[in-house]
Amino acid sequence: MNKFKELKIWQDSIDLAVDVYKLTKFFPSEEKFGLVSQINRCVISISSNIAEGAGRNNEKEFRQFLGIALGSACELESQLIVSSKLEFLSEEELKKQIDKLVHIQNMINKLIKSIKI
């Protein structure tokens, strides 16, 4: 299944990455190598692991990479909450991003369950 670009889950995770990168541009400069770096690595990991797993042509490995993507999504959720508590994100922006993230997490979970190994 190396047609990962056709997967809605991959497309949505790319859109989330673009949104999150745009948001972190406005974080304090002292967070560039801290929270911003960690958030950006997490968000890019979601789509990257979906693509890598899809490119493996092995359902067991694909499922494993989806699990890693899900872990990154959960890590990102935690970091966005911390960012909001530090007032780097508004409550409104946090809710908007968490809603997108939960949707992606749900899609990953459904895809994992659909893969028979």
Q: How does the average pLDDT of the chain come out, rounded? A: 95
- Tell me: pLDDT of 51 over 60: yes
Count of domains observed in the chain: 1
Contact 5, 48 (CB under 8 A): no
- Tell me: pLDDT of 1 over 70: no
How many CA within 13 A on the CB side of residue 2?
Answer: 4
Q: State how far the Cα of 48 lies from the Cα of 39, in Å rounded to an integer.
A: 14
72-116 confidence digits (pLDDT tens): 999 999 999 999 999 999 999 999 999 999 999 999 999 999 998
Residues near 35 by Cβ (< 8 Å), separated by ≥ 6? 27, 79, 82, 83, 86, 88
pLDDT value at position 2? Answer: 64
Q: Which CATH number covers residue 75?
A: 1.20.1440.60
Residue with more model confidence, 117 or 36: 36
Contact 62, 56 (CB under 8 A): yes
Placement of tokens 């966005």 in the chain: 80
For residue 91, give Cα distances in angstroms to 16, 22, 60, 87, 88.
17, 17, 39, 9, 10
- Tell me: pLDDT of 56 over 80: yes
Please state the rounded mean pLDDT for residues 61-73: 97
Domain carrying residue 25: 4-114
